Every structure is written in structure tokens, then in C-alpha cells.
Chain A
Amino acid sequence: MGQYNNTELLEKHHQIFIEQTPTAIAMLDVNMVYLAASQRWVKDFKLEGEKIVGRSHYDIFPEIGEDWKIKNQECLNGAIDICDEAPFYRKDGTMQWIYWDVRPWYNMDGEIGGLLMHTGDITEQKEKELEKKRFETILNDTSKIARIGTWELNLSTNKIIWSKMIYDIHEVSQDFEPTIESSLEFFKEGESRDAATVAIQNAISQGSSINLDLELINAKGKSVWAKFIGKVEYVKGTPTRFYGIMQDISSIRSTEQRLNKAHSELEAIFNSKSIAVITTDKDGIINRYNSGAEQLLGYSAAEMIGKQKPEIYMLEEELMQFRKDMIAEFNDDVTDKDFNYRNENINDTRQWTFKRKNGTTFPVLSTITAVNNEQSQNEGFIAVATDISKIKDVKDKLRRKNELLNHAEKITMMGNWQWNMVLDTVVWSSNLYEIFGFDEENVELKYDTYLDFVHPDDKDFVVEHIKNFIASNKKKGLVHRIVLEDGTVKTIKLIGEVITNAKGEITEVIGACQDITESKKAEDKLIEAKEELEIFTKKLSSRNQQLADFTHITSHNLRAPVANLNSLLEIYGYSEDEEERADIFDKFSNVIHHLTSTLNTLIEALKTKVGNANENLDDCDLNVLLENTTQILSGEILKSNIVITSDFSQVSNLTYNKIYLESIFLNLVGNAIKYRSENRSPEINITSEIIDGKINLKFQDNGLGIDLKKHGHKLFGLNKIFHRHPEAKGVGLFLTKTQIEAMGGSISAVSEVNVGTTFIINFN
């Protein structure tokens, strides 16, 4: 009993002991029923207020899975289950990090009496650890990104330890073993190395910390700017360690430099005299006002900054419009009372009218940008404005010129086009649409649009011409026809020009078209009129020539016998001798006879000139004609023994005034007989031939010949004689020429004295 009591007591003690153990511990029997649990157990597993002893472990922790149950079972068979950390997912959804030690307990008989579980809630500790890990990872990453490395100098051993980043910065391999000397070597000779040397000395001797930006020349010879931060660690008053970080700040430095540059550039812009830069604060008061603004507006910076709002130089109605536009742009709900456009990301460029201090206004192009803080609250505006009065002037001029061009194109019926060869886009001037009767609203224009209008008969040469003109790169005009959609045909004059880029490549072809339909018609009429006029002039000048000839003839051939008559009359007047008077009278009759014959010749010539010779055209057979001539002249032919030969094989028939042609034959053959040479047996050869499409008739003799140098000019004149021949009257050739010319032909002669003469008639 005592023993029993003892045992009971002992268990009771155990129970008390377990319950009060400051760690979490529980004692279970072989059925996994709680015999005892420490307060800590209750607390760790949040079991306060629950009856534990006598209940099954699995009742209390229904979340325990099969795997754990198996492990418990193994322990009940003598195994020991120890785990340093494991997550324990509770049924209420929380998670606890716990460690445990589960082992069997043995009763006095040495049999397993159950399990002894010792656990610890390490959730808090675990979270700290994880946090630290996270922190370290972040630090590591940051260091890498920020190119920060750590270094350490053991002051007792002088040993240096570098982190990987420092190796990277120095661009040396990992097996490099740095020493104080070798690491100092990396600092750029001069300022940087001196500063580093002093800093290390001071750190060792006085324990002072450092914070320096120094320049390194790394193993690859690259210049690297690095920030050094270091401090000394003391142990019992003696410095033992000098450690710190090193950050590659090259990019920061270059960024800084770039920033400086950008800043100075901005300054330059701000200081520009041609651009006005004006900024306002959140209340709309001007806080920056550059010299460009001073120049443009006439207000000084002193007058404006901190005192005025931009309203002073802006027009009220334009500001109203701007506000209205901004509200419309950023706020769909116009009724929203809380909406303030100032807080939006305004970036607006438009034309404004600014008012100078002297009241005059001028146009500007201004970009207004809102400056907002992180909370999207407006902190002011920046306005950059340029005076565009000149640009406006130029634009106005350009517009006026364009209008003029449009007018000019209308008046001259011209149009112009621009063909961008790269994109195959074409732009037509409005009058070109007009000329082509094409609707401006029509389809997108292409090169082919133009060709579609070209008259089908002209298309080939237009395409060819354009091709050639682009290839030769020369300005060239071309006249062709177009057919409008309604079928109207127009005549167009096209002139193009090739535009090349800097490399000489053709990028654009520009050109002008003129509707010359009317002028072409007029031109055709003009050409027709001109041709008629030329024919008329020719006729007229030939008439004039004939008239001049007549004056000459009158002067020479009528005046001479009249003068003779006068002289004879004078002598007759004072002559007293009857015989002489009879003689003189004889002369009178001679002169009158001569005068009559001359007059008759002139009348005949006049008839030839005035009458229309072309009215009496006959088909003349040259062989028949020659036969008639030889019959008429048979007496002379017989007397002179002249040999007449002819060749009319080329042309045997001729449509001509038969009377004239007979007269021509009679005169020329007669002349050949009359002026034959006594030294030769006389010959005449008559041939017809076609030269340059015209019928020629040639009379070639072997007679006396004429010195044409001396007499050529009067060969065909009236009453011109060249031989002291009793029958020479100077009429035949004159009439021959008159007749030939009346028929539109011409006569010429080649001759050599004592060889012969050839007359050539060219029937036109």
C-alpha cells in the first residue's frame, strides 16, 4: 500500500513537476491520453481553459495528421523523435513554428508507459530569423545594384578581406590577395592616393573614421570613382579592426555631371533672350521671369517676380478660352464642382496674344506645363513662349502668295502638282482639279490618276516623256491632250521638274499644267493665217518685182524712143533743107515703128502678168511641141544646118499653158539658131528631167555664148541685146521669162563665150 501510495505520490509529484516546468512538456500514456501538461504547453498551444488531462492528444489536436500519428506510434515502440523546427498548422488557421522532442517513458518495470513530449514555440524566433534572412538578401541585392562592397583590415595582422563586389570594382580575380600597399596602389596617384594613405594612418593611430570620394584606377586601367566609409573597432581600448564599405559611384558621378550639364543647358535656355520663360507658384504669382521675357514683354523681372500674375500680360478672353479648353480636356463631368484643371497634367501649346507693358500686343507660341507635386496638387506653371510675329508675317505672306498663285492659276488656266515618288502620293492645286473637271473630294491621288486622263493616243509618248525626263533630270515641256470624264478633250502643256535629296536621289517631281486648248486653237489659226500671209507676201513681192521691172522698162524702153522723137522734132524744126526733112521724117517713121513694137511687147507681157495663166492649162506633149517648133522655124533650120536633138524620156507630157510653152520653145530654139557660132556646126539638145520632184527642161546649144559676168544681170531684160546681130531685139528672153514666172516657175542660164549656152527652165 505504502508502495502504492509511494507510487501514487510519485506520479503526483511527476504531474506537479510537469505542470510547473517552465517549458512546454506533456506526458501521455500509451493510448496517447494526457497524464500531465505544463502550463507552458497550455499557453503555447493556446489551450487555456481546456481540460487536458485524461483527454486524447488527437482529440485536443485534431489537426495532427497521419504522418505524425505514425511517428508517435514509433515512439511508443521505443523511438525518439526529435525535430528542430517544423511548421504546425493549427485548425484555427494559424501556423506555429515548433521544435519537439518526443520519446517514450518507462515505468519501473522498464516498460514503455507512454510518451513524453517536449515542444517549444519558436514562431517568434523563426520569424525574426526569416526577417533577418530577408533583410540580408535585400542588403545583398542592394549592395550588388548599388555596387557596394565591404572590406576589413585586421589591425593586428594587417590582413585585408574584400567582399566579392570589391574584387569586381577593382576588376581583379578572386585569388588576388590584397595588402595595405597593394590596395593603396589602386588609388589614383596624387590627391586620391594621398588622401587614402593619410586616412589609413589616422585610423590606425587615432582611430578616426573616414568618409571619402576617391578615384581608383582598376586593374583594367579604368577610372573608377568610389565612396569609402570606414570606422575602427576597439577591443579594450585598442583598435583591432578597420572596416567599412566601398561604393562604386562612377555612374552616380557621371549622372551628376550629366545633371550639371543639363542644368547649365536649362540655365542657358532660361537665360535665352529670344525665349520667354515664366513660372508661377501655386498661387499663380510669377516666381521666375527670364531676360527673354523682359525683352518680349517690356516688364523687368523686378516688376514681376513675387508681385504679378501672368494675367497682366495675357488677354482675359484667351485665358477664359484656355480654362474652358482645359476643363473640357480633362474633365468629362463638367458639373463636378471639386474639379480643378490646375491639378491635371497640363501640357498645352497654342498661340497666344501677349500684351507688352506699353500696351501693344504681339503673337506668341507658348507651351504651358503644370508643375504638380506627388499628391497631384498644382505647385505652379511653367510657360515657355516665343515671339512668332515674324513667323506669322511670313505665314501671312505665304498665304497671300498662295492666294495669288491660285488667282494666277485661274487666270492663266494653270494648275500645279507635286508627286512624292517615295510614297506615290500626289497633291494637286485646286485649279488643276478645275482644269481636269475632277472632284476635289475624290479618291486619293496617285501618279496614275494623271495618266488616266491622258488621251489614249497620247498616252505612250507621255509615259515615255515622263520616264525620260525623270532619267535625264532636266526641265522639259510637253504638249498632250486629256479627256475629261464628260468626254471633253483639252490640250495641256506639261512642265515638270525633278527634286532630289542630298544624295542626289529623286524624291519628288513637281510640275505645272496649263490648259492651252484655246491658245492651241488660236495658234493653229495663227499658223494657218501666217502661211496664207506668206503665200500672199510671196505673190505680192513677185508683183512688186514685176512692177519694179515695169518701171525700169518704161524708163528705158519707152523714154528712149520718145527722147528720139523729141530730138528729131527739134532738128525738124530748124532744118531748112527739104532733103534733110524727108530724111528726118523717115527716121520718125522708124522710131514710131520701134515704139509701137515695144508697146506691143509690153502689152503682151502685161497680159501674161495680169491674166491668170493657170486658167488655160493643156496637156502638152513635148515631142509634138518640138515638132511644131521645127516646122515654124524650118526656114532658119535649113539655112543654119542646126542639128536638133531631144530626150523627153523622163518627162514627156506636161500640164501647161500651151501657147506659152510654144512661145518658150520658139524663142529658145530660135535664139540657138540666131546666136550660133560660125566656127561650129550648130547643135541644140533639149532634155526633160525631174530634179527634186520638179520638172526641168534644158536647152543646151554650142553657140556664141554670153559673158554672164558682164551681162548676166540684164540677160532677161527687155530690149537687152548682147550681140551686134541685126536681128537682136532683146524681146524673146524677156517674154520667155515673163511667161515662165506667170506659171510659177523660173528660168536660169549658164554660158561660156564661144562654147555655148544652156537655159534651164524649172517648172514649179
Chain B
Amino acid sequence: MNDVLKTCIVDDDSIYRYTMVKTLESTQLPMEIMTFSDGEEAIDFMLDNLDEDSVFPDVIFLDIDMPVMDGFQFMEEYIKIKPRVGKKITIYMVSSSLDPVDITRANNISAISDYIVKPIGLGKLKEIMTELLKERKD
């Protein structure tokens, strides 16, 4: 199971979630996909499984704009529990926003690997996933 990439999508937009899942599946890379419709659902999942971090995702595609708990609020909570997480999690901030305020804010959080503007596209997604799988093998 080690070579399977646990991929997590956090977004309130069901269409987006649908397209992401479809696109990821089309890459035919070994992965397990889980989705949450807002930050709070995602963080709750992590808090519930703190003792069993093997179920934690390897990579998270995190939306900014979400009801209840948005992407940044999620990051605040995640950073709190991060020391207790044994696993390395790669987080991508994903948004349709081109607002420089959002981009700068995301780049200032070290736990975030990159800021990606929607739509991601199959090519880019495949590249990211392949790279992550390669890292894991090394």
C-alpha cells in the first residue's frame, strides 16, 4: 500500500470535486482519493484519526473559498496538529482567485507547497502526482 498515493480534495464546489476525481482517475496512477466539502470536515477527519496517521492523505488540494472553515482557517488548525502528525503531507492551495493578496498569503505559509490556479488541467495534475510518487519511492 506504500506506493499508493492518498490524495485529498477539500472544496465546497461539487462540480470541481467531480472534475478533480475524474481527472485524477484518468491518470491511472496508484492513488486513493478522499473528498471533503469544507475545511472543517477535513480537519475533523484528521483529528479523529490522529492515532492512526496511516489513513492521513499524502497530498491535499485545498480550496480557499469555503463555507464554515476556509482554506486559510484550515491551515491554522492543521499547523496546530502538525507536530503530532508523523507523516509528511504535501499541501497545494487551489483557487480560482487571481487576487495577489491570496497568493502572497498562501506563499507565506511554509506548510503550503504551492499555489495553483483553477483549472489545474490533466497535464499539470499528472506531473504533480508522478513527482510525488517518485519522491516516495526515493
8 closest cross-chain pairs (CB), A and B: A567-B19, A563-B118, A559-B96, A563-B119, A560-B96, A721-B67, A567-B119, A564-B15
| Nearest B residue to A574, CB-CB | B26
Tell which of A559, A570, A587 touches B18, judged by Cβ atoms closer than 8 Å: A587
Of A321-329, A627-635, A722-730, the stretch lying at the interface with chain B is: A722-730
Answer yes or no: B22 CB below 8 A from chain A CBs: yes
24 sample A-B contacts, Cβ–Cβ < 8 Å, listed by A number: A555-B96, A555-B99, A556-B65, A556-B97, A559-B97, A560-B13, A560-B16, A560-B96, A560-B118, A561-B15, A562-B96, A563-B119, A564-B16, A564-B19, A564-B118, A568-B15, A571-B19, A587-B18, A587-B19, A720-B65, A720-B67, A724-B37, A724-B38, A724-B68
A672 to B69, CA, bound (A): 21
Closest to B69 in A: A710
Decide if the interface of chain A is mainly helix, strand, loop or mixed. Answer: helix
Point out the residues of chain A lying under 8 angstroms from B98, CB to CB.
555, 559
Q: Measured between alpha carbons, how far is A580 from B25 in the docked complex, in Å?
A: 13
Separation of A562 and B97 alpha carbons in the complex (Å): 12
Q: B23 contacts which chain A residues (CB < 8 A)?
A: 567, 570-571
CB distance from A714 to the nearest CB of B (A): 8
Residue A183 CB within 8 A of the other chain: no
| A722: chain B residues within 8 A (beta carbon) | 67-68
With a cutoff of 8 Å between Cβ atoms, the chain A residues found around residue B68 in the complex are: 722-724
Is A590 an interface residue, CB under 8 A from the partner? yes
Q: Which B residues touch A571, using CB under 8 A?
A: 19, 22-23, 26
For A652, the chain B residues whose CB sits under 8 A away are none
**Shortest CB–CB separation between residue B109 and chain A, in angstroms?**
17
Let me know if A566 is at the binding interface, CB within 8 A: yes
**B20, B22, B97 — most chain A CB neighbours (10 Å):** B22
B121 in contact (CB, < 8 A): yes
Tell me the minimal C-beta distance from B19 to chain A in angstroms. 4
Interface residues of B (CB under 8 A from A): 12-13, 15-16, 18-20, 22-23, 26, 37-38, 65, 67-69, 73, 96-99, 118-122
Residue in A closest to B25 when the chains form the complex, CB atoms: A571
In the complex, A499 has a CB within 8 A of chain B: no
A722 and B122 alpha carbons, distance in the complex (Å): 31
Q: Does A591 contact B (CB under 8 A)?
A: yes
Complex CA–CA separation, A723 to B37 (angstroms): 12
CB-nearest residue of chain B relative to A723? Answer: B67
Q: Which A residues, 433 to 463, have Cβ-Cβ distances below 8 Å to chain B?
A: none
A-B contact count (CB 8 A): 77
Q: Which residues from chain A contact B15 at a C-beta distance below 8 Å?
A: 561, 564, 567-568, 587, 590-591
Q: Chain A contacts of B37 at CB under 8 A? A: 724
With A564-B16, A571-B19 already in contact, 11 other A-B pairs whose C-beta atoms are closer than 8 Å: A560-B16, A564-B118, A564-B119, A567-B19, A568-B19, A570-B122, A587-B15, A591-B15, A720-B65, A721-B12, A722-B68
Chain B residues within an 8 Å CB radius of A728: 67
* Complex CA distance for A724 and B67, rounded to whole angstroms: 7
Q: Is A552 an interface residue (CB 8 A)?
A: yes
Measured in the bound complex, the distance between the Cα atoms of B73 and A722 in whole Å is 13
Q: How far is the CA of A571 from the CA of B17 in the complex (A)?
A: 13
The CA-CA distance from A574 to B19 in the complex, in Å, is 12
Q: Which residue of chain A is the closest to B76 with respect to CB atoms? A: A710
Instruction: For residue A179, give the distance in angstroms from its CB to the closest CB of chain B.
Output: 127
**A721 CA / B38 CA spacing, docked (Å):** 11
Which residues of the other chain, A, contact B96 by a CB distance below 8 angstroms? 555-556, 559-560, 562-563
Residues on B with C-beta less than 8 A from A568 are 15, 19
Give Cα A571 to B65, complex, Å.
24
A723: which B residues are within 8 A, CB to CB?
A: 67-68
When C-beta atoms are compared, the residue in chain B nearest to A570 turns out to be: B122
CB nearest to A559 among chain B residues: B96
B40's nearest neighbour on chain A, judged by CB, is A724
What residues on B are CB-neighbors of A719 within 8 Å?
Answer: 65
Check B119–A566 contact: CB distance below 8 A: yes
Contacts of B22 in A (CB 8 A): 571, 575, 580
Contacts of B20 in A (CB 8 A): 567
